[in-house]
Structure 1
Amino acid sequence: MDPRGKERFAKLLHHRAAMLEKGEPIAPPLVSATTYHLPETEGASHSYGRVSMPTWEAVETQLGILEDAPCVAFPSGMAAISAALMAVLTDRKRLIIPADGYYVTRVFSADFLAAYGVEVIALPTHEMETADLSGGAVVFLETPSNPGLDCCDIALLAQRVRTAGGLLIVDNTTMTALLQRPLDLGADMVVAADTKAPAGHSDILFGHVATRDAALEERVRNWRKLSGAVPGAFEAWLLHRGIETLEVRLERMCASAQIIAERLAAHPAVSNVRYPGLADDPSHELARRQMSGFGFLIGFEMASEDAAETFLSACPLMTQTTSFGGTHTAGERRARWGDNVAPGFIRLSVGVEPVEPLWTAISAALD
């Protein structure tokens, strides 16, 4: 993580203390009230639970420090993604999405947005930088892509989108604001599933939208209020707690991922290892310029579907699950979800286990 990121995180850990009076709790209280005392409506800090809750606001403040931008909280990453798209696909009816990105975004765009007259164009991430952006398109980018881990030059694409009169939304779930700064690189909006690394313990759903454009922020907040896509107070409280250990968890996870990726690349049972931290990875040079860490996700192939499933079942320090970013290392054969990958392709999310016992278990399962 770069020095400014470390400063932001230190500020995050102590920002609440500056607002406290004597005897108040350091950790924010869990407030789940949906109704508030309103003898009159003028000047009330809160009015109704669909509009705002104190515990959401505590998390939005945390996330805002990380993003260096106002943030709007949502009950899942997909709720954040759909809110961002619904906020901008009004007069704009052309949407460019990654064909190799998160499959639920693709399904939502094809099955729902297209039905409302949006022209949906799916392109591989490596083609995004040279895409036809005419017509003021909304470009939705995921970099590194999930699960293939291809990277796209955010600053270059942001400049091209702006010149064409469009808008750029970046899904930054895989990196978080600690490892990649899309808004600093020119993106109009960032979306992320805080379900993953920020929460970190695989026990809540949460998401957020961040933007420095006040008009876009208002549109997103109004969508949340009117659609009712609001997070729960308990989930917000758990996320607040999880974020406070995000930096130390990421440091361990990324360091371990680098070691494991290098060892996987040398193993005879494995091929086509993708990890931006590998010197020969196609995205390595761009990742070095654009990111302050290479992340905790690794992609690789085994000889067949059976070989991949046998490996996943044989490794005692790997959970077989569909998410990533948690404390437990997780592996999944992604072809089962319809991703355009080889039958033996595995997405590996490295957790916080000590790296040598983890590698010993992985190596034994590979052998």
Structure 2
Amino acid sequence: MTSALFEPITVRGVTVRNRIWVTPMCQYSAEQQDGMPNDWHLVHLGSFARGGAGAVFTEATAVLPEGRISPQDLGLWNDAQRDEFARIVRFIHSQGAAAGIQLAHAGRKGSTFRTWDERRGTVPADDGGWPTVGPSAIAFPGYEEPAALTTDGIRGVADAFAAAAVRALAAGFDLLEIHAAHGYLLHQFLSPLSNTRTDSYGGTLANRARLLLETIDAIRAVVDDGVPLSVRFSATDWVDGGWTLEETQTVARWAAEHGADLADISTGGNVPAAHIPVGPGYQVPFATAVRAAAGLPTIAVGLIEEPRQAEQIVATGLADVVMLGRALLRDPNFPLRAAAALGVAVDYASQQYHRAPIGPTTP
């Protein structure tokens, strides 16, 4: 049987073996609060590569220390972090998967407790926290007020993304993603709810998108033309007066003109009071709408949990790739199980597990 889900996809100079990719998922597991990946990240990410995923993306990886979400988040602001990531990338490649990294800056949503901590809000300095920054001095509800970035500070953010991209490629990563979603710094600039600046980085849509486009430009200036670059957007803030699908479509088109190759479409995250109608595949229509308007291949995310559901999304052109999170946490072998369910023979099931095959394989 043929399957759109298991057709390889080529983006610039990189060919990925299938359309089931691992979405970035924060692990809050950097033990020394130094942004360093460790054995947890090796096993966590490596299990998805062994399980048949096409591309395995790291969690949101901070380009600056103050860009972390929590003190336990990963970072890529120094060469020691680069070298630890290289070990993980080598294993991902050894299993036939592509390695992707999501580069991020949390902005006003930084310096927070990890999700399973009983405490909420901003981490005190004595516990490893730090002062946060944002486009404007507007706090995310329940967090401390950020300092509004200066113009020099804004330029420093774009430069930090570019420096992290260079380190990522030196570590062996194949695909880069800019995190401009979920209420983190670049999304904060995009949304009028968090950006009330009156200079060239605020007000009009072009001004609010300026930092994102400058970040794309900064990365494209230092990486090879064959390197694919994705941008994750929240397609809507889900509240009146916030960031909208129509604005996402426009900025995604601008992003493509500046050198982005994929639009990874999620929603929400910039305000806590949004009413989001969650259900299976609830964000897929946004990916479809951006794909149609911006002329960019898109990645769909959000409660994609069954093989035939994923196949239908790709086969009918609703999106070009699906990214899975919870489904892969429950079963890192989801891609192999999906191949079996769809009757597709694949040649990348681990030989070490040959006593427990999952569906048909080729020699």
Does the alignment reach a TM-score above 0.5? no
* Structure with greater proportional helix content: 1
Q: TM-score, normalised by structure 2?
A: 0.27
Q: Which entry has the higher C-alpha Rg, 1 or 2?
A: 1
Q: TM-score, normalised by structure 1?
A: 0.27
